[in-house]
Amino acid sequence: MIESQPSCTDIFESGLMPCSEALDRIMARLPKISGYERIPLQNACGRTLHEPVISHINVPPHTNSAVDGYAFYAEDIPSSNTTELNVIGQALAGKQFRGSVQKGACVRIMTGAELPPGLDVVAMQEHVGVFENHIEIDSRHKRGQNIRLAGEDLKCGETVLKPGKWLTPADIGLMASLGLTEINVNRKLKVAIASTGDELCEPGDLTSPGGIYDSNRYSLIAALTRPDIEIVNLGIIPDNAEKLLDCFNQTGRFADMILSTGGVSVGEADFTKSVLQHSGQVEFWKVAIKPGRPLAFGQIDKAAFFGLPGNPVAVLVTFYYFVLPALEQMLGINGKPVAPTLKARVSENLRKKPGRTEIQRGILSRDEKGEWRVATTGKQGSGILRSMSLANAFIVLEHEAGDVKAGEWVTVQPFAGFL
């Protein structure tokens, strides 16, 4: 019986598990996938590095100039007044100066050009007097100024990137600076998505009487469109236990994760959790979160299974708070920066029941004093997807919190850098 499955008790409603515990249990169950592939460097942004990258060269390979100017010996810097240095040649990026430089002479040098051996100062051209064949320098120059040392970015032999690094544009550039053209990355995570519900129609088709268009699968496909995920679109499955069982069983043989939406409550046509129980294991199915209370989590064959709620806002909220951390752990991503939260003054009274986390959709802005302010997007029903579309932040009302008064501080999770 599903009722005997582990969940959690709570003074507010029996069987509701606090969000933090639900997330801990999810994370404890989902190991990193194994397997990797070799891909061209230019396709690797947003993938996860499989093995360490060790530098086999110095970057930069040669000591070079950081500015356009003149290179000379520090010994020629006068202790007072000025001195003249003859310009005896020039060094350009990629075109080194091949002669030798005597004391009292200098070389015109451009940014990135290799420093002729022994020279140890570069003066910016704006900081010297420029004449036809010589320059005039004063006493303010210092040994080593405007010089980039060989290996000051990456030293030959050092570990530049560790396995599990989620690759950013800077990482791709860094590996290109080492001359790499292909790298090994963790394989893509195979995520299957299904919508369940007899009322659902495919956008583009005519709706049947009482029907609605399926939006959840589209939100999820959009949220999962990223370089490290392979999406398996399972379409719409009717409210039929056998069909669900069939589909989830088949998919569990090859997918890493199954996401279904709808049919996870206690209504007459809600079969998802009984199917999960029948063909897999249920870890929990009720979480103390609004929106998103019915959220089934378990395993079917090889696949982690999330039975997300049917309501469109609840789908996205549970996706970002539970599914996203889970799939990033499975992908083997280490040390991705934590999405920042901040405190903002709320512009209106908010109703909140203690004993569950509430995620309201907010519009975050700064007032004339530069303080963060947040207002809700209006009606907060979990079927009102527009509330999510209008929002630029979640307002996170913590588990124990009660009603909030206008002007109080609340925790806000900005979407920028998060979604």
* Site residues for ligand AMP per CB under 6 A: 195, 197, 199-200, 212, 214-217, 261-265, 267, 270, 309-312, 383
Stretch touching Mg ion by CB under 5 A, among 159-167, 200-208, 259-267, 320-328: 259-267
Residues 6+ apart with CB under 8 A from 78: 137, 138, 139
The distance from CA 105 to its chain's CA centroid, rounded to whole angstroms, is: 52
Q: Give min distance, CB of 205 to ligand AMP, in A.
A: 14
Label the pairing between strands 257-261 and 303-308: parallel
Choosing from 263, 292, 309, 362, the residue that interacts with Mg ion (CB under 5 A) is 263
As to burial, measured by CB atoms within 10 angstroms (0-12 exposed, 13-18 middle, 19+ buried), residue 44 is buried
DSSP-derived secondary structure letter, 160: E
When the beta carbons of 202 and 398 are compared against ligand AMP, the nearer one is 202
How near is the Cβ of 260 to ligand AMP at its closest, in Å?
A: 10
The nearer residue to ligand AMP, 97 or 297, going by C-beta atoms, is 297
Say which entry of ligand AMP, Mg ion, none residue 237 contacts (CB below 5 to 8 A, set by partner kind).
none
Binding of residue 309 to Mg ion (CB under 5 A): no
Handedness of CA 384, 340, 292, 327 (dihedral sign): positive
Select the binding partner of residue 212 from Mg ion, ligand AMP, none (C-beta < 5 to 8 A, by kind). Answer: ligand AMP
- Residue 261 binds which entry of ligand AMP, Mg ion, none, with Cβ cut-offs from 5 to 8 Å by kind? ligand AMP
DSSP-derived letter for residue 51 is: S
Closest approach, Cβ 269 to Mg ion, in A, equals 6
CB-CB contact of 51 with 107 (8 Å): no
Nearest Cα residue to 187 out of 50, 95, 68: 50
Binding mask 267-306 for Mg ion (x = CB under 5 A): ----------------------------------------
Work out how close the CB of 267 gets to Mg ion at its nearest, in angstroms, rounded to a whole number: 7
Shortest-Cβ-distance residue relative to ligand AMP: 310
Q: At its nearest, how many Å lie between ligand AMP and the CB of residue 261?
A: 5
Give the shortest CB-263-to-ligand AMP separation in angstroms.
Answer: 5
Q: What contacts 34, CB < 8 A, 6 or more positions away?
A: none
**44: helix, strand or coil:** coil
- 283: tokens are 């870890």
Please choose which of ligand AMP, Mg ion, none residue 311 contacts, taking the beta carbon within 5 to 8 angstroms, the exact cut-off set by kind: ligand AMP
Given Mg ion, ligand AMP, none, residue 215, with its beta carbon under 5 to 8 Å by kind, binds ligand AMP
- Is 185 or 295 the residue whose CB approaches ligand AMP more closely? 295
Which value, in Å, is the radius of gyration of the alpha carbons in the chain? 30
Closest CA to 109 of 93, 98, 120: 93
The only residue of 18, 116, 262, 294 in contact with Mg ion, by rule CB under 5 A:
262
Which of 41, 200 has the CB closer to ligand AMP? Answer: 200
Q: How far is the CB of 309 from ligand AMP (least distance, A)?
A: 5
CA atoms of 48 and 291, how far apart (whole Å): 32
Give CA–CA dist 385/313, Å, rounded. Answer: 5
Residues 194-223 contacting Mg ion, CB under 5 A: 197
Q: Which is nearer to Mg ion, 262 or 312 (CB)?
A: 262
Cα 160 to its chain centre, rounded Å, is 20
Binding residues (CB under 5 A) for Mg ion: these are 197, 262-263, 310
